[in-house]
A and B are shown apart, each in its own frame.
Chain A
Amino acid sequence: MLIEGAIVYSNLLALLSLGLTLTYITTSVPNFAHGSIAVLGSYLALSLYYFLGFHPYLSLPIVFLVCGLLGVVCYLAILRPLIQRGASIVILMIATLALDLILFGFIGAISDSIGGIAKKFIFTTYDFEVQGISGVFFFSSAVVLLTLIFLWFLLFKTKFGIALRASMENPALAETMGINVEKTRIFSWFLSCALAGIAGALLPFKQEIVPLTGSLIIVSIFSASILGGIASIVGALVGGYLIGISESLLTYALSFVLGTEVLLYSKVVSLSALIIALLIAPRGIVEGLRKWSKSFST
């Protein structure tokens, strides 16, 4: 039960940090609104259930599309004008912070419009079980697997994938080679935000959602991305699972020593992991391990 919960949470965190990494490598800006996009996904799923009676699992494709399109709109309307004006990375970060505030405003407005239940909600009662294992375990794992297969196929088997990898490595060079960098950015914002939306729609099966959840989960997302290496897709997955599992299991283990009060402070674990990662291997453990193993061969 505990391990199952930890894996579900890690699956979702891996999806989130994967999305963050995708936009980071194509647009080179850490998206501070990523947590709020996920929570918007949660509230979208809640609204679909509340107004139209859609089961949260059935609304996943809708959430995927809507959040993905929202990501494209955010990129085209907010980031692209700034990039075209040659804005620095700090200005772009502030822009995503502003985007976070705007999304938070919308989340709050949706929550107030639905009323009562939306202030704090959870989906666990709508979940099913197969041999004692919750449905969200299968769904979240399936989404992660599908995403990975899709990404692998896309990146290594298609021409667009080659273009995508090239523009990740060196956008200026890729552009001179005739690759449409703009297209790869739009694609990455679509996929990133769509995955965040899915993770957000599945998150209420695991924990309570309030409008402010986004600003807490962003800590875990950033920790996962940086721990794995913010510019590495494999790193995002590794980081997602490491942070997800340590946040659940380590806090649980600590609760035996320090009392159950500790369970509230799972984010302290992520923050500590983030700080340790920054001190030891600021480029992430995937890159760190690669360098470490190289030091033997030479």
Chain B
Amino acid sequence: MEQIVLNVIFWFGIYAIVSISLNLEYGLAGIPNFGRVLAVLFGAFTVGGIVNRFFIAYYGIQGELIESSAELKTIMNQRIAEDPSFGILLLLLYLAISAVVCGIIGAIAILPSARLSRDYLAITLLAISEVSFMVFNYNTSLGGGYYGISLPDVFAFYAGNRQLLFAILSLLLLLLVFILAERISNSPFGRLLRAMREDEDVVKAYGRNLMFLRIKISAISSAIAGIAGALFSLFTANFIASNFTRIEWTFYPFLMVLLGGAGNNKGVLFGTFVFVTVRQFLTVYKYELVETLRIPFQTVWIEYIAFGLVMFLVLVYRPEGLIREAPVLKVAKKLRARSSESSK
């Protein structure tokens, strides 16, 4: 039971980071990023495929990336076990560089279609993420391909249940991301994004550059999603591209955002919690389900069909989500203050 709770907490933290990043991009700015997985994938890749390459060069380890990563892992784990502060520093370094790399990737990915309409945006972002997924999956020298590469355990100094530490870490990061997202939503920039979502022409008429706005929010939200990717790969202590499917990291975040309420960060947290809990129960009772229903195939296919139908039901019956988008905080407060003043 304790394991289930820890699982729910960890997955809630990591998925909430991704869905809040998607909420900034889709819920706030109206950009249908059907390639959310791209930033998550690159965030995870940055840990094993970029930062660790520098460490491998630093320690002078020879050989292919897959073998040298394994060797690096033993060296690093030993050092982390001796010196916990090294592990913490390493963790922060991984997260920071992943955020920077993914911010750049997000800005580049949106460039070709940034000035076009939303259907073009969705198609292009999806195509870029699918092709990247394929390249990472096949190319073994880039990031280990389907064999994957192993990563050091940043909590190697802790002898107990490392999942506990990761659950706490994911919640901490989520808190930071949530505060950042709330600040963005309530800032003038956030209001500008909302205006862009509602009517692009109005924003243009006020002399704002749509393309620049899109690139900026895409970079910010991709950086956030990259942190989640890095966290996930550090948790599993390896990087395998096939973990980063469109369903897992694009479709499910969309489901969580729409279920909770697009444009509303608190709603998205709620939607994520509902999704993660339901999914955890599905995972736990998977085998019993197969036995009672006597189905001749894996439950994952039923999961896909079910979540696809849930998405459809949300779209038809609850398009604004479980919790509706609230009016902008600052403006609402000001209005309230003004009305109370005038009533005096």
Chain B residues 105-157 with CB under 8 Å of chain A are: 112-113, 116, 118-120, 122-124, 126-128, 130-131, 134-135, 138
> Within the assembled complex, what's the spacing in Å between the Cα atoms of A249 and B52?
37
Binds A, one of B38-46, B167-175, B180-188, B301-309: B301-309
Q: Determine if A93 and B122 form an interchain contact, defined as CB atoms under 8 angstroms apart.
A: yes
Q: Determine if B122 and A30 form an interchain contact, defined as CB atoms under 8 angstroms apart.
A: yes
Binds B, one of A1-9, A199-207, A268-276: A268-276
Q: Determine if A82 and B112 form an interchain contact, defined as CB atoms under 8 angstroms apart.
A: no
**Closest Cβ–Cβ distance, residue A77 to chain B (whole Å):** 9
> Within the assembled complex, what's the spacing in Å between the Cα atoms of A29 and B297?
33
Chain A residues 73-124 with CB under 8 Å of chain B are: 78, 81-82, 85, 87, 89-91, 93-95, 97-102, 104-106, 108-109, 111-113
A172 at the interface (CB under 8 A from B): no
Chain B residues with Cβ below 8 Å from A112 are 296-298, 301
Chain A residues 13-56 with CB under 8 Å of chain B are: 29-30, 32
The winner among B32, B127, B295 for most chain A CB atoms within 10 A is: B127
Q: Determine if B131 and A101 form an interchain contact, defined as CB atoms under 8 angstroms apart.
A: no
Q: Determine if A265 and B304 form an interchain contact, defined as CB atoms under 8 angstroms apart.
A: no
**Closest Cβ–Cβ distance, residue B105 to chain A (whole Å):** 15
Chain A residues with Cβ below 8 Å from B126 are 32, 218, 222
A149 at the interface (CB under 8 A from B): no
Q: Which of A78, A90, A108, A218 contacts B304 (CB 8 A)?
A: A108
- Range for the number of chain B residues in contact with chain A: 35 or more
A216 at the interface (CB under 8 A from B): yes
> Within the assembled complex, what's the spacing in Å between the Cα atoms of A90 and B29?
12
Q: Which of B119, B122, B128 contacts A271 (CB 8 A)?
A: B128
Q: Determine if A97 and B34 form an interchain contact, defined as CB atoms under 8 angstroms apart.
A: yes
Chain B residues 245-286 with CB under 8 Å of chain A are: 246-247, 251, 254, 258
Q: Determine if B309 and A226 form an interchain contact, defined as CB atoms under 8 angstroms apart.
A: no
- Listed from nearest, the 4 A-B pairs whose CB atoms lie closest are A112-B297, A105-B304, A102-B308, A105-B305
6 inter-chain pairs at a CB distance below 8 angstroms, sorted by A residue, are A82-B316, A98-B312, A99-B308, A112-B298, A215-B130, A218-B130
Give the interface of B toward A (CB within 8 A).
26, 30, 32, 34, 112-113, 116, 118-120, 122-124, 126-128, 130-131, 134-135, 138, 246-247, 251, 254, 258, 295-298, 300-305, 307-309, 311-312, 315-316, 319
Extra 9 A-B pairs, beta carbons < 8 Å, given A78-B312, A94-B315, A102-B305 = A85-B319, A90-B26, A90-B32, A94-B311, A97-B254, A105-B304, A109-B295, A222-B127, A223-B127
